[in-house]
Amino acid sequence: DIQMTQSPTSLAASVGESVTITCLASEDIYGSLVWYQQKPGKSPQLLIYGATILEDGIPSRFSGSGSDTQYSLKINSLQPEDFASYYCQNGLSTPWTFGGGTKLELK
């Protein structure tokens, strides 16, 4: 199985700041990286697929980058609704595997 390691596990920031979350795959996943946002009591929401492609309706302050084994999610100009948990997922091969999550909290 491809192991996905996310960092940091938690992050505190203020509205208006920018943050970056990273995801490291245990092997090359050729850009097949997916990012989700999950708010408490809600189901995950697809943000980015193919490492860089924004899902329809997702604000442009979210962006993804990376290749091979290293990927990042950047959120510019944090808004109050962005404080949530974020997960990366290996989309290359089954079993699809998730990172451990990053909880983004308000400072």
Where along the sequence are the contacts to another protein (CB under 8 A)?
1, 32, 34, 36, 42-46, 49-50, 55, 85, 87, 89, 91, 94-98, 100-101
CB of 31 to another protein, least distance (A): 11
Judged on CB neighbours under 10 Å (0-12, 13-18, 19+), 46 is middle
15 or 50, CB closer to another protein?
50
Beta-carbon contacts of 81 under 8 Å, excluding residues fewer than 6 positions away, are none
Phi, psi (deg, nearest 5) at residue 62 = -90, 135
Whether the bond into 44 is cis, omega within 30 of 0: no
42 or 80, CB closer to another protein?
42
CB of 105 to another protein, least distance (A): 14
CB of 69 to another protein, least distance (A): 19
